[in-house]
């Protein structure tokens, strides 16, 4: 089979992984030799009609796989066409794409062939060849196989910017049912091992500048939404635990989407994309807005997000006693709780109010949607009065073009 046919099969097989980040690693360039650079922010070199960023060459080394994970297009029992890249083919594709400025680097994953160790070793070899034989300074994300030997995982970490292990299912029971060969304790073990190595390397480099790096952009994982019957609250809780136990950089949520050649053990239709969207919003509230898990789940109904309103607005509507918030006096933590005001708008408000009291007109200039904000704030010239406590407020604030995410 020629490289082009392999590329088509092995990119198609990789597209169910949502991660495409290329940010947060060390800054490098090739002024003193080699090829490539990484700067503070990642770059999306293209966008597919599914709205997703294309930053990395995201491919599988092979889609042959010994495992039988029901949700996966590459499971052993699927009739999908199979292909297998050589190490050299992946290395050359990465370099050729990179030189033309198509990509930031490589995201390599793989089906498990022969053994977890053999597969992990080949993936690490691709990264080693790129770094050592070709002086590649671009971004490398390697999928980690939890069942592989820790020494091999450690080898991968020396060459990669990021490592990831996908949990895919939010509970041990679902995993046992839908991904019988995967084991949650093994995954947790490997995540713990990675955390130790990542933090250890950072610590060492603080003392010895030349100490080796280890996955400087951290580790991440992915959870599938809607392949099992897990509710939003349970998924969010799993995500929150992963952040705190293993210091993950990102948890990706991926709405289950129909795959060709589906397994009979799965729902045939897609999970609504709005579930995924709400989970990302809640994830953001946990990480950047100082919300606690129970605050978010407390505003849910039966452990599910309201598809019509975002989780921050849901919390505000359930906790109206905190509002209206005085734009000129409230501390930063409280400004962050106002629906419709993001981290950047809060920063702008904090800066601007040092120059004098902000009036409603000023707030309007500093935020993107004053209408959404108004029921929850007060300024010297404006008070929402009874609006904050209006029983019809939820209906008034619901956006109209809901089907956008349906």
Round to whole Å and give the CA distance between 81 and 73: 10
Round to whole Å and give the CA distance between 194 and 214: 9
Distances (CA, A) of 327 to 177, 234, 324, 338, 373: 51, 35, 9, 10, 11
Residue closer to other proteins (CB basis): 181 or 390: 181
Q: How far is the CB of 327 from other proteins (least distance, A)?
A: 12
Round to whole Å and give the CA distance between 317 and 331: 20
Residue closer to other proteins (CB basis): 139 or 291: 139
Residue closer to other proteins (CB basis): 137 or 249: 137
**Roughly how many angstroms between the first and final C-alpha of the chain, as a whole number?**
40
Q: 102: closest CA among 173, 11, 193, 33?
A: 11
Residue closer to other proteins (CB basis): 270 or 304: 270
Q: How far is the CB of 228 from other proteins (least distance, A)?
A: 16
Residue closer to other proteins (CB basis): 29 or 292: 29
Contact 352, 379 (CB under 8 A): no
- Reading the block at residue 227, the tokens are 């392949």
Q: How far is the CB of 375 from other proteins (least distance, A)?
A: 22
Residue closer to other proteins (CB basis): 297 or 310: 310
Q: How far is the CB of 211 from other proteins (least distance, A)?
A: 24
Helices (H), 42-183: 87-99, 116-128, 134, 150-159, 172-178
Q: How far is the CB of 79 from other proteins (least distance, A)?
A: 5
Q: How far is the CB of 295 from other proteins (least distance, A)?
A: 29
Residue closer to other proteins (CB basis): 138 or 314: 138
Q: Is 212 exposed, middle or buried (0-12, 13-18, 19+ CB in 10 A)?
A: exposed
Q: How far is the CB of 66 from other proteins (least distance, A)?
A: 5
Pairing of strands 377-378, 162-164: unpaired
Q: How far is the CB of 33 from other proteins (least distance, A)?
A: 7
Residue closer to other proteins (CB basis): 268 or 391: 268
Per-residue DSSP letters for 198-265? HHHHHHHHHH-TTSPP--TT-EEEEEEESSSS--HHHHHHHHHHHHHHH--SEEEEEE----SS--TT
């Amino acid at each position: 089979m020629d490289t082009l046919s392999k590329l088509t099969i092995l990119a198609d097989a990789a597209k169910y992984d949502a991660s495409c980040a290329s940010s947060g690693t060390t800054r490098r360039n090739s002024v003193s030799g080699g090829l490539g650079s990484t700067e503070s922010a990642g770059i999306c070199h293209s966008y597919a009609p599914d709205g997703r960023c294309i930053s990395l060459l995201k491919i599988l080394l092979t889609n042959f796989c010994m495992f039988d994970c029901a949700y996966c297009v590459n499971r052993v029992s699927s009739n999908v066409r199979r292909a297998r890249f050589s190490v050299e083919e992946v290395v050359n594709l990465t370099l050729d794409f990179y030189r033309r400025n198509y990509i930031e680097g490589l995201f390599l994953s793989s089906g498990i062939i022969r053994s977890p160790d053999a597969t992990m070793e080949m993936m690490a070899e691709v990264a080693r060849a790129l770094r050592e034989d070709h002086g590649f300074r671009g971004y490398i994300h390697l999928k980690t196989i939890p069942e592989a030997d820790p020494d091999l995982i450690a080898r991968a970490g020396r060459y990669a910017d990021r490592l990831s292990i996908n949990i895919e299912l939010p509970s041990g029971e679902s995993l046992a049912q839908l991904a019988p060969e995967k084991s949650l304790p093994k995954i947790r073990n490997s995540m713990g091992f990675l955390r130790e190595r990542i933090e250890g390397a950072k610590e060492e480099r603080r003392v010895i500048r030349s100490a080796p790096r280890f996955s400087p952009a951290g580790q991440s994982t992915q959870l599938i939404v809607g392949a099992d019957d897990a509710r939003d609250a349970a998924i969010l809780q799993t995500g929150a635990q992963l952040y705190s136990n293993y210091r993950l950089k990102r948890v990706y949520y991926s709405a289950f989407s129909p795959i060709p050649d589906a397994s009979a053990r799965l729902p045939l239709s897609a999970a609504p994309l709005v579930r995924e969207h709400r989970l990302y919003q809640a994830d953001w509230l946990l990480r950047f807005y100082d919300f606690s898990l129970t605050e978010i789940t407390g505003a849910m109904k039966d452990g599910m997000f309201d598809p019509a309103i975002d989780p921050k607005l849901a919390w505000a509507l359930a906790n109206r006693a905190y509002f209206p918030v005085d734009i000129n006096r409230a501390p930063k933590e409280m400004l962050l709780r106002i629906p419709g005001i993001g981290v950047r708008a809060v920063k702008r408000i904090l800066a601007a109010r040092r120059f004098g009291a902000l009036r409603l007109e000023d707030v309007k200039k500093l935020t993107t949607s004053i209408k959404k904000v108004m029921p929850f704030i007060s300024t010297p010239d404006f008070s929402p009065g009874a609006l904050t406590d209006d029983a019809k407020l939820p209906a008034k604030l619901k956006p109209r073009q809901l089907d956008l995410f349906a």
